[in-house]
């Protein structure tokens, strides 16, 4: 089998599996998986910057929240339908990503981490400051009528699952295509050796900026979808916690792999879910497992799989 055939089989197979699970899973896990797919899309967006371009951001909650609030405010105050609202969320996150990229990319390494963190914190405080419109911590609840496209009611489990899967498939296939295209190879080259990429004639700043915008857009789209599918838009999603989550999911699943973000998100979700059903000290259990994984699978689950078995994994 050629490399491309294997890649298509694995990634296509995964999408087919997710379609099939819709009809097989019991209600509880069905609902979980819809949520996981949206969060995994967020992680995929994060991975474009962190895993493929080598840019460690500590402020991705900003992009998730930008999409979410762009969507939510459009629904709440402009009476926009779900599709228009989704596009509004998308537009807001593109603009935010462009601005953050232009400013934050003047720094590198620790400086970049701090600047992205500060931007996200500023975004969080802005949401709290405009409590009159954003309802601050309490958040906005979107009604069923506001989440219906034609006869498709996104508050119902079936349509919600498929909408989540559609979002995931888009993010998943976009990154798969991107990292195998010349553009993605340049991002990887920048991650591996920025100076060398520059001396081959690549305008490193522009490529990094493109990575930030693509990453921010995918994360914003995920945030908008999350608000729409689960009917809630709140400031928690802009807090530092939501900047750390995608980093953890990607690290666990395997930075710089296309399926890693889904695997990491799934793993962490069920790790917390299962351990909290056993003990109230579930964060301790989760913490211990995370430490063990970082010790014994430092490249993440899929990263280790690539290093040991499937060398061809993109």
Partner 1 sequence: MSLLSTRGLSRSFSGLRAVHEVDFALPEGEIRALIGPNGAGKTTFVSLLCGRIPPSSGQVIFDGQDISALPAHRRIALGMAYTFQITSVFSRLSVYENVALAARRRVAGRAAVDRAVMRALEQAGLHDRPDQAAGDLSYGHQRLLEIAMGLAQAPRLLILDEPTQGLADSEVAAFKALIRELKATTTILLIEHNMSVVMETADRVTVLNFGEILAEGTPQQIHANAEVQAAYLGTG
Binding region for partner 1 (CB under 8 A) = 182, 185-186, 188-189, 192-193, 195-204
Nearer to partner 1, 35 or 185 (CB): 185
Instruction: Write down the least CB distance from residue 29 to partner 1, Å.
Output: 37
Is there a contact between 61 and 240 (Cβ–Cβ < 8 Å)? Answer: yes
Nearer to partner 1, 273 or 304 (CB): 304
Instruction: Write down the least CB distance from residue 193 to partner 1, Å.
Output: 6
Instruction: Write down the least CB distance from residue 107 to partner 1, Å.
Output: 18
- For 88, the token pair is 């509004």
Handedness of CA 152, 94, 234, 287 (dihedral sign): positive
Instruction: Write down the least CB distance from residue 310 to partner 1, Å.
Output: 15
Count of CB atoms within 10 A of residue 284's CB? 11
Instruction: Write down the least CB distance from residue 115 to partner 1, Å.
Output: 22
Closest CA to 131 of 82, 68, 73: 73
Nearer to partner 1, 100 or 187 (CB): 187
Nearer to partner 1, 26 or 182 (CB): 182
- Between CA 213 and CA 66 the distance in angstroms is 13
Nearer to partner 1, 4 or 143 (CB): 4
C-alpha triplet 44, 69, 15: angle, nearest 5°: 30
Nearer to partner 1, 189 or 214 (CB): 189
Nearer to partner 1, 133 or 205 (CB): 205
- For 21, the token pair is 């699970």
Instruction: Write down the least CB distance from residue 197 to partner 1, Å.
Output: 7
- Between CA 173 and CA 83 the distance in angstroms is 21
Look-up of token digits 């596009």: 87
Instruction: Write down the least CB distance from residue 202 to partner 1, Å.
Output: 6
Look up residue 280 and give its DSSP letter.
S
Residue 257's φ and ψ, nearest 5 degrees, are -125, 150
Look-up of token digits 């909290």: 276
Closest CA to 63 of 262, 229, 212: 212
Nearer to partner 1, 156 or 193 (CB): 193
Handedness of CA 222, 224, 227, 229 (dihedral sign): negative
Q: Reduce the DSSP state of residue 202 to 3 states and report it.
A: coil
Is there a contact between 261 and 50 (Cβ–Cβ < 8 Å)? Answer: no
Is there a contact between 297 and 304 (Cβ–Cβ < 8 Å)? Answer: yes
Instruction: Write down the least CB distance from residue 36 to partner 1, Å.
Output: 29
């Amino acid at each position: 089998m050629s490399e491309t055939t294997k890649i298509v089989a694995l990634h296509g197979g995964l999408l087919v599996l997710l379609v099939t699970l819709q009809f097989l899973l019991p209600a509880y896990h069905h609902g979980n998986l819809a949520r996981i797919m949206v969060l995994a899309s967020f992680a995929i967006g994060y991975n474009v910057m962190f895993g493929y371009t080598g840019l460690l951001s500590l402020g991705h909650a900003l992009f998730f929240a930008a999409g979410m609030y762009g969507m939510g405010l459009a629904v709440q105050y402009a009476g926009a339908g779900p599709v228009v609202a989704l596009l509004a969320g998308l537009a807001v996150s593109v603009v935010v990503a462009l601005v953050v990229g232009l400013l934050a990319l003047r720094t590198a390494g620790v400086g970049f981490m701090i600047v992205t963190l500060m931007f996200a914190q500023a975004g969080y405080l802005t949401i709290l400051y405009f409590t009159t419109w954003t309802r601050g911590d309490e958040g906005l609840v979107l009604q069923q009528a506001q989440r219906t496209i034609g006869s498709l009611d996104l508050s119902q489990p079936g349509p919600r699952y498929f909408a989540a899967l559609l979002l995931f498939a888009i993010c998943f296939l976009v990154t798969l295509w991107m990292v195998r295209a010349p553009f993605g190879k340049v991002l990887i080259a920048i991650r591996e050796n920025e100076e060398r990429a520059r001396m081959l004639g690549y305008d490193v700043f522009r490529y990094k900026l493109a990575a930030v915008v693509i990453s921010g857009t995918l994360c914003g789209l995920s945030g908008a979808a999350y608000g729409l599918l689960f009917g809630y838009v709140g400031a928690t999603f802009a807090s530092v916690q939501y900047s750390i989550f995608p980093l953890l999911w990607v690290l666990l699943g395997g930075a710089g792999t296309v399926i890693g973000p889904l695997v990491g998100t799934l793993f962490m979700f069920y790790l917390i879910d299962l351990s909290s059903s056993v003990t109230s000290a579930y964060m301790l259990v989760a913490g211990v497992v995370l430490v063990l994984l970082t010790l014994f699978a430092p490249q993440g689950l899929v990263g280790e799989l690539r290093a040991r078995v499937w060398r061809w994994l993109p």
